[in-house]
Amino acid sequence: MSDFWIYFQIGLKHVLDIHAYDHVMFLMALTIPYAFKDWKRILLLVTIFTVGHTLALLLSVYGIVTIKVNIVEFLIPITILITAFFNFFTAGKSSKTESINLVFFITLFFGIIHGLGFSNYFKTILGGSPSSKLLPLGEFALGIEAAQIIVVFVVLIISYIVQTVFRFSKRDWTLAMSAFIIGVVIPMVIESEIWSR
């Protein structure tokens, strides 16, 4: 049980680390267009992201996929930018169901990219035989999922307060938060090591 908590807490801290806020930024961009009534769709999106993240770690831990760190570190903020820009084009639309399959596929793909970004560190803390790596990977994934649900819940609460107490329209809130996220993420893209080659 103690091993479970070790990897579960690593998963929690991976998402909730204040110094590595890219994961939180992505979750914010993913969540802000939605409300509490959309909880099933949000939970599905978050879980799909976790599946992608875990799949990337699985492929990396077993040496099936390797990718240069600076490429992944560049792609992670790009995924956040794409998600935030997507919100600009869909903000205020009455229904998001027409593009939901595309959103699910893109979320899975973005989860893979984010997972690859963490794979090198994860490999350093994960020893043992190939078969002994599956359980810690699952425990870590549960920590990721729990932390993501916490972030999503906080974003939904803030969204609810802003829209009910401060009378922001859902569209204005989505646009304002997407602009904020873009403003935070663009410097990450500009400062990426990929440009220094």
pLDDT in tens, the chain (197 residues): 578 899 999 999 999 998 889 999 999 999 999 999 999 999 999 999 999 999 999 999 888 988 888 999 999 999 999 999 999 988 877 655 556 688 899 999 999 999 999 888 888 888 777 678 889 999 999 999 999 999 999 999 999 999 999 999 999 999 999 999 999 999 999 999 899 86
Cβ-in-10-Å burial (0-12, 13-18, 19+) of 84 comes to buried
Q: What is the pLDDT of residue 94?
A: 60
24 CB-near residues (< 8 Å, 6+ apart): 15, 16, 151
Q: What is the pLDDT of residue 46?
A: 96
Q: How far is CA 111 from the centre of its chain?
A: 6
* Encoded amino acid at 51, one letter: V
Q: In terms of Cα–Cα distance, which of 26, 36, 192 is closest to 106?
A: 26
Q: What is the pLDDT of residue 196?
A: 83
Task: Count CB atoms within 10 A of the CB of residue 167.
Answer: 8
Question: What are 71-76's contacts with CB under 8 Å, separation 24+?
Answer: 71/194, 72/113, 72/116, 72/117, 73/117, 73/192, 73/193, 73/194, 74/189, 74/192, 74/193, 74/194, 75/113, 75/117, 76/22, 76/26, 76/113, 76/114, 76/117, 76/188
Give yes or no for a contact between 16 and 147, defined as CB atoms under 8 angstroms apart: yes
Measured CA distances, 73 to 20, 54, 190, 193 (Å) = 11, 17, 12, 8
**Model pTM score:** 0.92
Give yes or no for a contact between 15 and 117, defined as CB atoms under 8 angstroms apart: no
Exposure of 50 in the CB half-sphere (CA atoms within 13 A): 23
